[in-house]
C-alpha cells in the first residue's frame, strides 16, 4: 500500500468515525411539557413538585447524563377551551412528553392530539376511567383511576350493608365517568345508585342548594360526593344549611376533599364544622425516606416562595411523573434513538389562516418513547411505579379517613388485593389475596353519632308508595280492589298493619291491576315492580323463584303450598259391612287366638278351679265360652291360679285393642267417602291423563308444566270459586276436571263453601306469601321486621281470624277419604306378645306338673302293690303305662293328689314303725 493510499484510508476512517459519532450524539437539552391549572388546589402543589423534580433530575448524574431536562409549562386556567388552546401551543414547542393534563375533560381532547403527534401524555390528576389505553394509546395515567376509587366506595357501602346511595357529582367528563364506574362497582355488591344529583360546572351556591334540596327528598341518606376540589367545599356549606349534616346522614367523599384538607395550611374552623363525620378517601403513599426527604424539600421551597397552599397526594404523583419521563428518555437515548420531529402533510394552513397548524410536528420516536414509559419500574415517593397490562398503576391503595374535630384520622385502607383492612397494605401485599375479612375502625358519623346510620328514609318528595294490587275475580276475602280508594282483604289488612309499625310515615297509593272478571298475571305485576312502574306489589303473591330473581320479597306472612283437591262420593254400606274392618287373615288369626287362649286358661285352671271341671262336653263348652266371652268382658268363670290370671290379663289388653280398632274401622267404613277419579296423590296425578284445573294468573301452571312435566293440554284455567265447583262436579266426562291443583289457603277457602270435595295426598311444595318490592329496597327489610312483630304479638293471627272465621263443613278430616281394612300386620306385635305369654305359662305349668308327677310316682313306688296290681303292671308296656298315668295325673284335682301323697307318706311311716317293733327282742 502506497503513502497516498494510506492517507486516503485514514481520512475515510476518520470521516466514518465522525459520522457514527454524530449519529449517536446525545442532545444537550430535551424539552418536556406540563399542563395544569396554576391557581388550583392540585395545581399549586403539582407546579412546585414538577419544578423540584426537574431540578432533581438535572442534578442526578445517573439519569440523563450530559442532557438537560427543560420544562415547558402552560396554565390551563380551569377551562376546557383555554386548556385545549394551551395544549396545542405546547405541542408546537417540540416536547417529547407532556406531564398532564390535570383535567379529565382536557385529557379527552388532548389525547386525540397526542395520538396524532405521537407525544405521550402522563397525567397525574386525570382520574376519569374512560380515559383508557384502548382509545388513547398515548395516554398514561400516573395516578390511581377512579375505577379503583369507586370500587373502594362500593366496598364501604357493602361493609355497612347499605343498598342505595345518592351520587352528587359535577356534570362533566370527570364526574360522569366516576359515577358510571360507581354504578358498576355498586352493582357487583348488589347495591345501586338510587338518585343522581348532577351539578353543572362552575355552579353558584344557589344552584348547588337546589340540587341538594332535590337529593334530600329522595330516600337514600348515603351521599357519595365526586366533584372538583376548588368548588366542592360549597356543597357542604349548602348541605349544612339544609340540615343534611345531621345524624342519620352518611357522606362518602372521593379523594378531592383529602387534597383540599392536606393543602389547607391554616384550617378554617368554620368550614371544618360543616364536614364533621365525613368518610374521605385519599391515595395511599407509603412512608419512606425518599418521601420524607421530598416533603421536607417541598415545604422549605414553599416557605421561601410564600406558597400558601400545602402539599397533597397529587403533588407526589406529579413529582414521580417527571422522574418517569426522565428515566424513559434516558433509556430512549441509550438505545441509540434520536429525538426528531417531522411535519404532518395533513396539517397545513389554508390561505389567510393564522392558526399556524403546520407548526405542529410529529415526534418520530414517539412509539419507542411510549414503550419505554410502559416498561417503567422504579420506586418513587408514591411507592412502586409500574404499569399493569391495562396501563394502570399496580397496587392501587386508598387511605380511608374520618373527619372529626379540626382534622381527620385514619380508620382503614382499601386495596384491590385485600379490600378493606386496618393493616398496612404493604404488609398485606406480601400475603395471598384475601377479601373475606373486611374491617374498619369505628367511625364518628355526622351529628357526632357513633351508631351506624340506617342509610335511608322514606322519600319526602311528595310521591306516595305506588302499591300494585291484583283485582281478582275470586277469593276476594284475600284481596279485593274495586278502585284505588276501595281496596280490602286479608292481605291488605296485614300490609296496613305492618306499615303502621314502621318508624317513619309511608304514604301509600294503591293501584288496582286487572278488570275483576279475570285474574291478572301475578308475575306480570311483579315485573311492573321490577320495571319501576310500581314500587311494591301487595296481595296473595307466592314467593317463587322467577319472582325473587327480579324483585325483593318480605318475610312470609302466611304459609302456602300446592295441594290437590278432588271430588268424593258417599258409599252406601252393604249388609255384610260389619265384616269389612278386618281382612280374612285377620279374622282367622283372631279366632285361632281366641281358641288358643281358652285352651291355655283351661289347662292352667283345670286341676284347681271347679269352673273348669266336669264332663268332657261341659269342659269343651267352657273353653269356647270363656275365650269368646272375654271379648265383652262377660265371662263368669273366675281364674284362681297365678299363671291363669297373668294370661287373662295380657289377653284382655289384646282384646281391648282389637275391639277398639274394630269399632273405629267400622265407623269409618260406614261413613266413608270414596274418590270419584281415583287420584290419591301427586304420583297418581302425574301418571294419569285426566284434566287438571288451576287458578288463572298464578304460578301453578308454570310449575306443573316445567317441574312436573304435565302436558299443557291437560291444564284448564279457572277463575272463581264457582268455576272450581262446577268443573269438579262435571268431571272429565262432561268437560270438567278431575282435580284442581292450587295453594293451600285458596283450597281452605274453597272447602269452607263446598263440602263434597277433599284434599288428597300431601302438600308437595313449600312456599309462603310475601309482599314484593324493588330489588334491594330497604323498605322490604323493614317490612319483614314489621311482619315478624305482628306474628310475635299475635296480631297476625287475629287478622286471620277476623277474615276466615266462618262455619265450615261438618268434617274436614282427610282420613275419611278412602278408609282401608285392618290386617294382621297392624296387630302382629300384640299377637306375638299374647302367644309368647301363653307359651311361657304352659312351660311353667308343665315343669311344675312333671315335678309333682315325679314326687307322686316316688310315693306310689314306696307302697307295696297288691298281687292283682302287680300282675296288671307286668302285662302292660311300660311307656304306655307312664303316658296314661301322666294323663290321669293331669286330670286329677290337685287337692286329691296332695291327699294321696300325704296318705302314702303316712302309710310309709307306719310300715317303718311296724317293722321296727317286729325286730325288737321285747
What dihedral do alpha carbons 23, 26, 29, 34 form, nearest 10°?
Answer: 100
DSSP of 17-37, one letter per residue? Answer: HHHHHHHTPPPSEEEEEEEE-
647-675 burial code (b ≥16 CB/10 A, e <16): bbebbeebbeebeebbeebbebbeebbeb
The DSSP 8-state label assigned to residue 639 in this structure reads P
Indicate whether 199 pLDDT > 80: yes
Looking at residue 359, what is its pLDDT? 75
Indicate whether 10 pLDDT > 60: no
Query: pTM of the entire structure?
Result: 0.67
Tell me the pLDDT of the chain averaged across its residues: 82
With both helix axes pointing from N to C terminus, report the angle between 229-241 and 205-216 in degrees, rounded to the nearest 10: 60
Is there a shared CATH topology between the 465-560+769-804 domain and the 674-766 domain?
Answer: yes
Indicate whether 646 pLDDT > 80: no
54-95: pLDDT as tens digits: 999 999 888 988 899 999 999 988 777 888 888 888 888 889
Nearest CA among 53, 113, 96, 102 for reference residue 75: 102
Kindly indicate the confidence band of residue 687, based on its pLDDT and cuts at 50, 70 and 90.
Answer: confident
With helix as H, strand as E and coil as C, how does 667-728 read?
Answer: HHHHCCEEECCCCCCHHHHHHCCCCEEEECCCCHHHHHHHCCCCCHHHEEEECCHHHHHHHH
Terminal CA-to-CA distance of the chain, rounded, Å? 186
Q: Are 467 and 774 in contact (CB under 8 A)?
A: no
Indicate whether 247 pLDDT > 80: yes
Kindly indicate the confidence band of residue 844, based on its pLDDT and cuts at 50, 70 and 90.
Answer: confident
Q: How far is CA 61 from CA 49, 293, 338, 531, 692, in A?
A: 20, 19, 21, 65, 91
Indicate whether 849 pLDDT > 80: no
Q: How far is CA 752 from CA 598, 691, 694, 745, 746, in A?
A: 52, 24, 18, 11, 10
Query: Which segment of 8-17, 576-585, 829-838 scores lowest on mean pLDDT?
Result: 8-17
| Domain 674-766 superfamily per CATH | Periplasmic binding protein-like II (3.40.190.10)
Indicate whether 103 pLDDT > 60: yes
Greater pLDDT, 8 or 79: 79
Looking at residue 608, what is its pLDDT? 67
| Cα–Cα distance measured from residue 414 to residue 396, given in angstroms and rounded to the nearest whole number | 8
Looking at residue 761, what is its pLDDT? 82
Kindly indicate the confidence band of residue 200, based on its pLDDT and cuts at 50, 70 and 90.
Answer: very high
Query: Which segment of 30-44, 103-117, 498-512, 561-575 scores lowest on mean pLDDT?
Result: 561-575
Looking at residue 301, what is its pLDDT? 93
Please tell me the total number of residues recorded for the chain in this structure.
Answer: 922
What dihedral do alpha carbons 229, 231, 233, 238 form, nearest 10°?
Answer: -150
| Cα–Cα distance measured from residue 104 to residue 106, given in angstroms and rounded to the nearest whole number | 5
What dihedral do alpha carbons 745, 749, 755, 760 form, nearest 10°?
Answer: -10
Partners of residue 386 on adjacent β-strands: 377
**Cis preceding linkage at 190, omega within 30:** no
Looking at residue 624, what is its pLDDT? 67
Rg (C-alpha) for the chain, rounded Å, is 51
Query: Which segment of 10-14, 410-414, 724-728 scores lowest on mean pLDDT?
Result: 10-14
Indicate whether 234 pLDDT > 80: yes
* Helix, coil or strand: residue 343: strand
Q: Are 402 and 392 in contact (CB under 8 A)?
A: no
Indicate whether 920 pLDDT > 60: no
Q: Are 137 and 381 in contact (CB under 8 A)?
A: no
Indicate whether 15 pLDDT > 60: no
41-63: pLDDT as tens digits: 899 999 999 999 999 999 988 89
Provide CATH code, domain 465-560+769-804: 3.40.190.10
Looking at residue 766, what is its pLDDT? 83
| Domain 29-144+287-386 superfamily per CATH | Response regulator (3.40.50.2300)
| Cα–Cα distance measured from residue 537 to residue 697, given in angstroms and rounded to the nearest whole number | 15
* Helix, coil or strand: residue 626: helix
Kindly indicate the confidence band of residue 675, based on its pLDDT and cuts at 50, 70 and 90.
Answer: low
Domain residue spans of the chain: 29-144+287-386, 465-560+769-804, 577-670, 674-766
Query: Which segment of 344-358, 460-474, 648-662 scores lowest on mean pLDDT?
Result: 344-358
Looking at residue 459, what is its pLDDT? 72
Indicate whether 872 pLDDT > 80: no
Query: Which segment of 559-568, 634-643, 809-818, 853-862 scores lowest on mean pLDDT?
Result: 809-818
356-365: pLDDT as tens digits: 666 788 899 9
Amino acid at each position: 500500500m502506497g503513502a497516498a493510499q494510506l492517507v486516503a484510508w485514514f481520512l475515510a476512517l476518520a470521516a466514518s468515525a465522525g459520522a457514527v459519532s454524530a449519529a449517536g450524539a446525545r442532545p444537550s437539552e430535551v424539552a418536556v411539557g406540563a399542563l395544569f391549572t396554576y391557581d388550583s388546589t392540585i395545581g399549586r402543589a403539582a407546579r412546585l413538585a414538577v419544578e423540584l423534580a426537574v431540578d432533581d433530575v438535572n442534578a442526578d448524574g445517573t439519569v440523563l447524563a450530559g442532557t438537560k431536562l427543560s420544562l415547558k409549562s402552560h396554565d390551563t386556567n380551569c377551562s376546557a377551551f383555554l386548556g385545549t388552546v394551551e395544549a396545542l401551543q405546547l405541542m408546537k414547542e417540540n416536547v417529547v412528553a407532556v406531564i398532564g393534563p390535570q383535567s379529565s375533560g382536557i385529557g379527552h381532547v388532548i389525547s386525540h392530539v397526542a395520538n396524532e403527534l405521537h407525544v405521550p401524555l402522563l397525567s397525574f390528576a386525570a382520574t376519569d376511567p374512560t380515559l383508557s389505553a384502548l382509545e388513547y394509546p398515548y395516554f398514561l395515567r400516573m395516578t390511581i383511576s377512579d375505577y379503583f376509587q369507586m370500587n373502594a366506595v362500593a366496598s364501604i357501602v357493602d361493609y355497612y350493608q347499605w343498598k342505595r346511595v345518592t351520587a352528587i357529582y359535577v356534570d362533566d367528563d370527570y364526574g360522569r365517568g366516576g359515577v358510571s364506574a360507581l354504578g358498576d362497582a355498586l352493582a357487583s355488591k348488589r347495591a345501586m345508585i338510587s338518585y343522581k344529583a348532577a351539578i353543572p360546572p362552575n355552579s353558584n351556591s344557589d344552584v348547588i342548594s337546589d340540587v341538594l334540596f332535590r337529593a334530600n327528598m329522595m330516600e337514600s341518606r348515603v351521599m357519595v360526593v365526586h366533584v372538583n376540589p376548588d368548588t366542592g367545599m360549597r356543597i357542604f356549606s349548602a348541605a349544612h344549611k339544609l340540615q343534611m349534616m345531621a345524624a342519620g346522614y352518611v357522606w362518602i367523599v372521593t379523594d378531592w376533599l383529602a387534597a383540599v384538607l392536606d393543602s389547607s395550611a391554616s384550617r378554617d374552623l368554620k368550614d371544618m364544622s360543616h364536614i364533621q363525620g365525613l368518610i374521605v378517601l385519599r391515595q395511599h403513599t407509603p412512608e419512606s425516606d425518599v418521601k420524607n426527604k421530598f416533603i421536607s424539600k417541598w415545604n422549605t421551597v414553599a416557605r421561601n416562595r410564600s406558597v400558601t397552599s400545602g402539599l397533597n397526594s397529587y403533588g407526589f404523583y406529579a413529582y414521580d411523573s417527571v422522574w418517569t419521563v426522565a428515566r424513559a428518555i434516558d433509556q430512549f437515548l441509550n438505545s441509540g434513538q434520536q429525538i426528531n420531529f417531522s411535519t404532518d402533510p395533513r396539517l397545513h394552513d389554508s390561505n389567510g389562516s393564522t392558526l399556524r397548524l403546520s407548526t405542529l410536528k410529529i415526534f418520530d420516536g414517539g412509539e419507542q418513547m411510549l414503550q419505554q414509559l410502559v416498561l417503567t419500574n422504579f420506586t418513587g415517593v408514591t411507592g412502586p411505579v409500574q404499569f399493569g397490562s391495562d396501563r394502570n398503576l399496580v397496587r392501587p391503595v386508598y387511605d380511608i379517613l374520618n373527619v372529626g374535630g379540626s382534622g381527620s384520622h385514619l380508620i382503614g385502607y382499601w386495596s384491590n388485593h385485600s379490600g378493606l383492612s386496618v393493616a398496612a397494605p404493604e404488609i398485606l401485599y406480601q400475603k395471598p389475596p384475601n377479601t373475606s375479612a373486611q374491617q374498619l375502625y369505628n367511625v364518628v358519623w355526622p351529628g357526632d353519632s357513633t351508631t351506624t346510620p340506617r342509610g335511608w328514609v322514606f322519600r319526602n318528595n311528595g310521591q306516595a308508595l305506588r302499591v300494585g294490587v291484583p283485582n281478582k275475580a275470586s277469593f276476594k276475602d284475600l284481596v279485593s280492589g274495586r278502585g284505588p280508594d276501595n281496596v280490602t282483604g286479608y292481605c291488605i289488612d296485614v300490609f296496613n298493619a305492618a306499615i303502621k309499625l314502621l318508624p317513619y310515615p309511608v304514604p301509600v297509593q294503591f293501584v288496582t291491576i286487572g278488570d275483576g272478571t279475570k285474574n291478572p298475571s301475578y308475575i306480570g305485576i311483579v315485573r311492573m315492580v321490577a320495571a319501576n312502574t310500581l314500587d311494591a306489589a301487595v296481595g296473595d303473591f307466592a314467593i317463587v323463584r322467577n319472582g325473587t330473581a327480579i324483585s325483593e320479597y318480605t318475610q312470609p306472612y302466611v304459609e302456602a303450598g300446592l295441594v290437590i283437591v278432588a271430588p268424593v262420593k258417599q258409599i252406601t254400606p252393604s249388609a255384610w259391612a260389619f265384616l269389612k274392618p278386618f281382612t280374612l287373615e285377620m279374622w282367622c288369626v283372631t279366632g285361632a287366638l281366641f281358641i288358643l287362649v281358652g285352651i291355655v286358661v283351661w289347662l292352667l285352671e283345670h286341676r284347681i278351679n271347679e269352673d273348669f271341671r266336669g264332663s268332657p262336653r261341659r269342659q269343651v263348652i267352657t273353653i269356647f265360652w270363656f275365650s269368646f266371652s272375654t271379648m265383652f268382658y262377660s265371662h263368669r268363670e273366675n281364674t284362681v291360679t297365678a299363671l291363669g290370671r297373668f294370661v287373662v290379663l295380657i289377653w284382655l289388653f289384646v282384646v281391648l285393642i282389637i275391639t277398639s280398632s274394630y269399632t273405629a274401622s267400622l265407623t269409618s267404613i260406614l261413613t266413608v267417602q270414596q274418590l270419584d277419579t281415583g287420584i290419591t296423590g301427586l304420583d297418581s296425578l302425574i301418571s294419569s291423563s285426566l284434566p287438571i284445573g288451576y287458578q288463572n294468573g298464578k304460578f301453578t301452571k308454570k310449575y306443573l308444566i316445567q317441574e312436573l312435566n304435565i302436558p299443557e293440554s291437560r291444564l284448564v284455567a279457572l277463575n272463581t270459586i264457582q268455576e272450581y265447583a262446577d268443573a269438579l262436579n262435571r268431571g272429565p266426562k262432561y268437560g270438567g276436571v278431575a282435580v284442581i291443583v292450587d295453594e293451600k289457603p285458596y283450597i281452605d277457602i274453597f272447602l269452607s263453601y263446598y263440602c263434597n270435595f277433599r284434599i288428597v295426598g300431601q302438600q308437595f311444595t313449600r312456599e309462603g306469601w310475601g309482599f314484593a318490592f324493588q330489588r334491594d329496597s330497604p323498605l322490604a327489610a323493614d317490612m319483614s321486621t314489621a311482619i315478624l312483630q305482628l306474628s310475635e304479638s299475635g296480631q297476625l293471627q287475629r287478622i286471620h281470624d277476623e277474615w276466615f272465621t266462618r262455619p265450615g263443613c261438618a268434617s274436614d278430616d282427610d282420613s275419611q277419604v278412602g278408609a282401608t281394612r285392618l290386617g294382621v300386620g297392624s296387630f302382629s306385635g300384640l299377637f306375638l306378645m299374647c302367644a309368647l305369654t301363653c307359651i311361657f305359662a304352659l312351660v311353667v305349668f308343665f315343669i311344675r306338673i312333671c315335678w309333682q308327677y315325679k314326687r307322686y310316682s316316688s310315693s306310689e313306688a314306696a307302697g307295696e302293690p297288691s298281687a292283682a296290681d302287680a300282675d296288671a303292671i307286668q302285662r302292660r308296656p311300660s311307656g304306655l303305662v307312664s303316658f296314661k298315668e301322666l294323663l290321669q295325673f293331669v286330670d286329677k284335682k290337685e287337692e286329691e293328689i296332695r291327699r294321696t301323697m300325704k296318705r302314702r307318706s303316712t302309710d310309709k311311716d307306719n310300715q317303718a314303725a311296724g317293722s321296727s317293733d317286729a325286730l325288737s327282742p321285747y
